[in-house]
Each structure stands twice: as structure tokens, then as C-alpha cells.
Amino acid sequence: MSSRDRDVPRQPGRDPSKDPWRAAPVIVAQIPEAGLHRELEADEAARTALAVLAEVREVLSAHASFDVVQQRDGKVHVEGRVRARIGQTCVVTLDPIESDIDEPIDQMFAPPEQIPELADMVEDDPNSEAETADPPEPIMGGQIDLGRLAADALFLAIDPYPRKPGAVFEQPAEAASPDDHPFAALKVLSAGPVDAPRAARRKKSEEE
């Protein structure tokens, strides 16, 4: 799923040292020719911080796996997925619920100087029905932060309006108004314009 399909709570200016899912960054210059594989497991402190940022009751578990491959033109392709179990509150019943997340990751990274040109190449074509790839993320300081990538993917996958299975919204019943009674209109007519001519005829008859 493209990150442009839904809003993701990205914070471009946030301090990387305060990212909730901390992990050793991947140094691009040290990526082997065959690529590398990384597994990340969020500890209790990271899960607590992730829950606060995602505004969920709790993050019970969170695991990410990545395959990182460097390309000849300086770009780096990262593929993987994030699996997690989170605790939320049903928006209908307010009962606590738990749900599983399995979110794929497919992201390209590129040197900052290449970003403007590459971003123009992936502009959405209004006449195309094919899904357009995300623009590349910049390689900052020669490194790629897999922890931030995992956290953003987790945020993207969270349902902002979770519902307990079978829970549905019910429209509140409106109190019936006396004016809505089917005979209300007849009552108004009989008390108003219909009586006026009858009273006039009765008065004329009495005068004669």
C-alpha cells in the first residue's frame, strides 16, 4: 500500500535520537554487494513510545524484517514487512479490542541531490489506473534508519476507527412530535379557515 493512500504521522523534523524504535542504522557504504538482511524487535520501552505516538491503548508486540540492496546508481532498495499486535478501544462499544498488523514495506532511498528529479518521474498520471510508487526517501548522512521506516509502516497500518466484530452504529431514535400526527393537519384546518365562512353565514341568517 502506498503511503499516499492514507495519512501517516510522519514528523520530518523530529530528533532521530528520540525515535521510538531505535536500531543500529544501516551505513550505505557498508552494504555488501549481495545485500543484507535485518530483523528488528521492539522492546517494552519502544512499544510504549510507539503506543503513545500512534494514540492506541498499547502495542503488545512489534517485529520488522528487512532486505536491503544497494544499486549501482547510488539508490538503495528496502523491502520487508512489519508484524505487530496492538490494543485499541472499539469506537462503537468502547470495549478493549486487539488486532494484528501485517504491513509490507517497499521503499527506495536515494542521495538527496537525486530526490527532485526522481520525485518528478513518479508524479501521478491522472489517466493511469496503475498504482504509482512512492518517491524515494533521502539517504541522510550516508545512513538509512530502519527503525523509523518500521515505525512509519506500523502507523500506516493502524485502523483509526477500530470496531469490535459485529459492532454497528445505531441511529438514536427521535421523540415523536405531536405535530407529526397524521390528523394534526385536519385539526388545524377545522379550527381555522373552514370555520370562518360558516360563522359568517350563521350571522347573516340571524340578522334576517
Q: What is the pLDDT of residues 60-85, one digit of tens each?
A: 999 999 999 999 889 999 999 999 99
pTM over 0.85: no
Residue with cell string 501517516: 8
Residue type (1 letter), 137: E
- Average pLDDT over every residue of 110-134: 66
Q: What is the mean pLDDT of the chain?
A: 79
* 169 phi-psi bin (left φ>0, alpha ψ -120 to 50, beta other): beta
CA 98 to chain centre: 17
Count Cβ atoms within 10 A of the Cβ of residue 62 and give its class: 0-12 exposed, 13-18 middle, 19 or more buried.
buried
Whether residue 4 is predicted with pLDDT greater than 50 in this model: the reply is no
Dihedrals phi, psi of 203, to nearest 5 degrees: -65, -40
Dihedrals phi, psi of 75, to nearest 5 degrees: -80, 160
Q: pLDDT at position 7, please?
A: 41
- Cell readout for 19 is 525515535
Confirm if 47 and 151 have CB atoms less than 8 A apart. no
Query: Alpha-carbon Rg of the chain, whole angstroms?
Result: 32
- Cell readout for 137 is 526517501
SS3 114: helix
Eight-class DSSP state of 135: P
CA angle 172, 177, 179 (to 5 degrees): 150
Query: Strand 26-27 to strand 143-144: parallel, antiparallel, or no bridges (unpaired)?
Result: antiparallel
Domain ranges of the chain: 16-157, 178-207
Confirm if 62 and 94 have CB atoms less than 8 A apart. no
CA distances from 150 to 41, 156, 190 (A): 10, 10, 74
122 versus 163: the higher-pLDDT residue is 163
Helix (H) or strand (E) holding 109: strand 96-110
Dihedrals phi, psi of 2, to nearest 5 degrees: -75, 145
Number of alpha carbons in the 13 Å side-chain half-sphere of residue 34? 1
